[in-house]
Amino acid sequence: MTPTTREIAFALRQGRYILLSDETGLSMACDPQHAEAVEKLLEIRQDLIPAPIPTLLIADSGMLNLYVRPIPEIAWDLIDFAENPLTVLLPGGVNLPEAFQPQVPVRKALSEPVKQLIGALGRGILVLPFETLEWPVGLNEPDLTWGKAPAKVQLPRIMELGPNGEVAFLRK
């Protein structure tokens, strides 16, 4: 039986992990407000080579206010007008675990099922993006899944945004 968005959102709030599929491939996802789940996700990251960038998925730029302050003016446009996956590393994380306070990697979800899940959860989703359609060997796969795997993975561009709008591409 396929779980509903409500059931998945409830599981995330309880600290469970899900296998999330979107345009960038498979990811391990958790609720960014659940400190223990985030801590374990960061531990898992350390064992992976190359280590993926834990990324906060949001539905739209309006969610930036929940996680970043101050917000550089250009961030609004970067998030709103991204037609392809774009991860923006923003300074000044708030309402997140300490590891994300200096810098928050944020990506707007483009997949409709993922946007629906974010809406049901009422906040962003923290993902460990594997950027492939294969689950990492040796890592236990979560029993809950959400989203649809794409035919072809789109690697996100990754850019770092300074407090005054300075831009540096880490991956084009």
Summarize pLDDT for 45-74 with one digit per residue, the tens: 998 988 999 999 999 999 999 999 999 888
CB atoms within 10 A of CB 97: 18
Looking at residue 67, its pLDDT comes to 95
0.85 surpassed by pTM? yes
The structural architecture, per CATH, of the domain 5-171 is: Alpha-Beta Complex (3.90)
Looking at residue 106, its pLDDT comes to 97
- Alpha helices in 93-146, H assignment, sequence order: 112-121
Q: Is the pLDDT of residue 165 over 80?
A: no
* Three-point CA angle 66, 68, 71, nearest 5°: 115
Looking at residue 162, its pLDDT comes to 82
Summarize pLDDT for 135-154 with one digit per residue, the tens: 999 999 999 999 998 999 99
Query: Measuring CA to CA, how many Å separate 61 from each of 11, 58, 95, 101, 108?
Result: 25, 7, 16, 18, 8
Q: Is the pLDDT of residue 1 over 80?
A: no
Could you give phi then psi for residue 40, rounded to 5 degrees? -65, -40
Enumerate the domain spans of the chain: 5-171
Collect all residues with Cβ–Cβ distance below 8 Å to 4 and sequence separation of at least 6: none
The two three-digit tokens of residue 45, written as one number: 């990251």
Region 98-115: mean pLDDT is 94
Region 11-25: mean pLDDT is 97
30 against 47, higher pLDDT: 30
Summarize pLDDT for 109-121 with one digit per residue, the tens: 999 999 999 999 9
Region 13-32: mean pLDDT is 97
% residues pLDDT > 90 (the chain): 84
